[in-house]
Structure 1
Amino acid sequence: MYEIQDIIETLEKFIKTFIIKYEYENIGIIKKFRIDSRKNLEIDERKWCRLFLRKSCLNYCCKIILLRVFEDKGKIKSKLNSEGIAVWNKLVKNIKDRYDKLYDIAIIDITNDEDITFLKSVFAESDYDIYEIDKELASIIVHGLSNIDLKDITNEDLKIIFRTLYPLDEREEYGFNDFYKKAPALDYILSLE
């Protein structure tokens, strides 16, 4: 069973680490995205880069939760839950705690699964995937979420989680719906009925 607060706390830790880790990374590429897109140019360049980073981070959070939900529902093979971690530790003796590799494999698996093709667009690669889920970030997710069973999570619970992480006042202030390009996983979660 899951506790919404435990999920929120793990994702908040992930967000904080992600923002600190990548605040100054890929700035040149992000500035190029801004110039090439010609979108939201009225926003100060520095703020534009921070908004991009925040939207990217939230998109990754959505991908991670969706991966875990589909693992726990048995739609894809387990990789990031406790069952998947146990298999991983038996298969790969000398790459202990490289959960970032499991995340990469999980993304490949879910985007190529013919039984859940609607997720191809949700997990489609976008500019927001410029950052990587490295060992530290993957470790936060695995240690915080691997023992939480998400098979019975509802759409309403998912909306509560992401409305907590990305509250309405922040959505209005940042205007992420109109900012740069769509973030597929974030848009999917926020559109759930």
Structure 2
Amino acid sequence: MNIEHKQEQFLNEIINLKQDLISSLNSESVEKYRAKYKGKYSPERFKEYFIEKIAIHAIFKYILIRMIEDSMQRVKAKLNEEGLSVWHEMSKNYRKDYDVLYQLAEKDIKREKDLADIFVETVYDEEQFVSKIERVITDYIPLLAKYDFKSLDANTTLTIIEKLYSAEKREELQRFDQPSFVINFLLQQVGLV
């Protein structure tokens, strides 16, 4: 399905993904990451920002994986409809284990020398977060598989970024010392950094 033609529907699904990620991650303690920010942000504000940055990181990672699979065709597609079909045929015992499929897709990209630096693990990829992220993304993989990420042009990408990560939020969240190479890469590609 062409993202440009179904932009509103796609945006709604991505926004729902973000909200579900934030809801899932809200139960996590992030106090150990706050040391540098004491006096700058209240514990509640810091948690809100940190959790939101984790959610944005996860969504942008998914988007980049799909763009690399669909547009660049550098790795075998796993997360689109064709990839899911192959997965269902190939793995009788793991048909609904999309978390395993997602991990395989990410590992494929990490093996590509020129892309590996983008997917370097950060604080936002720590196990306490990844397990919750994968549980939520697993529910969205079949829903988002129908979209053709080849049809994701620069204007649509800018719209998605603005809806998920507005200029005001970017200004606040980019101040965190812990960078997200995935977020930075996507922002650079569309000229926002």
Aligned counterparts, 1:21-60, within 5 A? 21-25=24-28, 27=29, 30-35=30-35, 38-39=36-37, 41-60=39-58
Q: State the aligned residue count.
A: 182
- Cα offset, 1:81, TM superposition: 0.5
**How far off its partner does 1:86 sit?**
0.6
Moved over 6 A (4+): none
For 1:154 and 1:134, how far apart are their aligned partners in 2? 26
Distance of 1:84 and 1:17 partners within structure 2: 24
Q: 2:120 aligns with which of 117, 124, 137?
A: 124
Which structure 2 segments of 5+ residues have no match?
A: none
Structure with the larger helix share: 2
Verify the 8 A CA contact 1:14 1:137 in the aligned structure 2: yes
Asked whether the 8 Å contact 1:4–1:157 carries over to 2, the reply is: yes
The answer (yes or no) to whether the contact 1:17–1:137 under 8 Å persists in 2 is: no
Partner residue, 1:76: 75
SS in 1 for 2:8: helix
Q: Percent identity?
A: 25
**Uncovered stretches (5+) of structure 1, i.e. residues with no partner:** none
SS of the aligned residue for 1:134 comes to: helix
Which residue pairs with 2:144 in the alignment?
145
1:17 matched to which residue of 2?
20
What's the CA shift string for 1:92-123, capped at 9, x where partnerless?
A: 10122111111111111101123xx1x22221
1:58-97 mapped onto 2 (5 Å cutoff): 58-73=56-71, 74-97=73-96
CA–CA distance in 2 between the matches of 1:22 and 1:170? 18
* TM-score (normalizing by structure 1): 0.86
Contact 1:100 1:135 in 2 (8 A): yes
Q: Deviations over 1:117-156 (max 9, x none)?
A: 1x2222110001121233442221x233101111132233
* Deviation string, structure 1 residues 27-59 (Cα, Å, up to 9, x no partner): 0xx211222xx2464111221122111001001
**2:151 is paired with a residue of what secondary structure?**
coil
Distance in 1, matches of 2:153 and 2:105, equals 22
Per-residue CA deviation, residues 79-100 of structure 1 (Å, 9 max, x unaligned), is 1100110110011101221111
TM-score when normalising by structure 2: 0.86
The match for 2:168 is 169
Distance in 2, Cα, partners of 1:40 & 1:144: 40
Instruction: Quote the Cα distance in structure 2 between the aligned partners of 1:154 and 1:31.
Output: 38
Conserved? CA contact 2:66–2:79, under 8 Å: yes
Partner of residue 183, structure 2: 186
Residue 138 of structure 1 aligns with an amino acid whose one-letter code is: T
Q: Secondary structure at the match of 1:62?
A: helix
Partner of 2:11: 8
